[in-house]
Amino acid sequence: MSKRFPTNGRVIFHVDMNSFYASVEAAYNPDLKGKPLAIAGNPEQRKGIIITSSYEARAKGVKTTMPLWQAKELCPGLRVLTPNFDRYREASSQMFQILAEITPFVQPVSIDEGYMDITECAELGTPVEIAEMIQQKIKNELDLPCSIGIAPNKFLAKMASDMKKPMGITVLRKRELPTKLWPMPINEMYGVGEKTADKLRKIDINTIGDLAKADSYHLKHLLGINGERLQNRANGYDPRPVDPEAVSDFKSIGNSQTLPYDTTDEREIEALLHSLSEKVAERMKRKSVVSENIQVMIRYHDRKTITRSNQLHDYVELSEDIFHIASTLFFANWNGKPIRLLGVTAQHLTEKEEMTKQLDLFTYENEAKNEKLYDVVSQLSDKYGKNIFKKNKSYENKSSVSTSFQKDFLDDYKTKKKK
């Protein structure tokens, strides 16, 4: 797979930003580069907790969740900063924009990591060449390091990205499992926490290889369905697709198409944009969602790729509305050169019937202040039914839609217009 694309199967990347918060701070203030640095909840108090730390601090024994006083004892020269979440969101948004320029099949799973399915990107080079291009682009444009795992599925890609940090690129093939994966301690397997690892050690499963070869019946008896799932992954089986529409922290619906030949014919381009808009609208209809942000992807004959998006003042769902926005975006940003690929994506989706409320690290404090209010709402809902506060289904303009509390850490990527 490092030499060329496989004739069948998938090519999955796991892109993992290295020591993300600390790296963003060092990029913002170069004086911090090469210094032991930690981000802590409250640096003014010794009882603060380490959120993350630079590799220089980790070399001194500083670890995530460690009390600040202990970290300073281990590393007297430790520089400690309070978290700047706006700065991290902006860096995350820019990083995911870079990934989206390669393929529309990007699935963020947290603020600093995500999966990519590059199976259809052979024209950009070999998998390793594409990984090197992504890694250097993120480093050159954002001054941030990342590691990339390359594998035929998500689990193996995730394991591969952890094998070499920082700035590593690791290929993990199924035939390499006995030598690269199986010798690893069971607690280093993604998806195995300390409690599960303790249970497995009690039945002499100490390595990932032990898990791969274990008796399936005993595993299922010990861990239930999760035992079967973990054993499958230990053997390199993970059928989960890279899903840009996954509920976890990111929602979008997009379609792209590579043209059979490069073209500058405006009629052909408009026809393709209209077709892509219809496909997006049909998928939105099936999922019963509306969009506040439309994005177009343009890949030129020389492989240069740009994405441009428009944050809307109203929700859209009809194909003609999507097409109008997409075509306006295209012709405002097209440089007139031959086009190889076009994509249309609806972002910042909202369910018609119910706005989903999502809590995360950045909104928890504000939400905690409203806890008493939510208790009252819960009590009334229990007594009178769950729909007593539901707004009218109409979504023709924002005033008729219940307020969306959704504000996860990938909101910038979903809504911000790339300039």
Residues at the annotated binding site?
A: 16, 112
Contacts of 98 (CB under 8 A, 6+ apart): 134, 137, 138, 141, 142
Q: Are 340 and 389 in contact (CB under 8 A)?
A: no
Q: Which residue has the tokens 């939400």?
A: 367
Q: Tell me the binding residues for Mg(2+).
A: 16, 112
Q: How far apart are CA 45 and CA 405, in angstroms?
A: 32
- Annotated catalytic residue: which of 113, 270, 282, 367? 113
Q: What is the DSSP letter of 400?
A: G
Q: How far apart are CA 311 and CA 17, in angstroms?
A: 27
One-character DSSP codes across 292-333? EEEEEEEEETTS-EEEEEEEEEEEE-SHHHHHHHHHHHHHHH
HSE-up of 155 (CA within 13 Å, CB side)?
21
- Show the tokens assigned to 379: 């009590």
**Strand, coil or helix: 384:** helix
Q: How far apart are CA 183 and CA 199, in angstroms?
A: 19
Torsions phi, psi for 384 (to 5 deg): -115, -5
Q: What is the DSSP letter of 179?
A: I
User: Is residue 228 annotated as part of the catalytic site, yes or no?
Assistant: no
Angle made by CA atoms 55, 76, 61, in degrees to the nearest 5: 40
Q: How far apart are CA 326 and CA 296, in angstroms?
A: 6
Contacts by 82-88, CB closer than 8 A, 24 or more apart: 82/39, 82/40, 82/41, 82/42, 82/43, 83/21, 83/39, 83/41, 83/51, 84/24, 84/25, 85/361, 85/362, 85/409, 87/24, 87/25, 87/28, 88/20, 88/21, 88/24, 88/409
Q: For residue 147, list its beta bridge partners.
A: 16
What residues act catalytically? 113
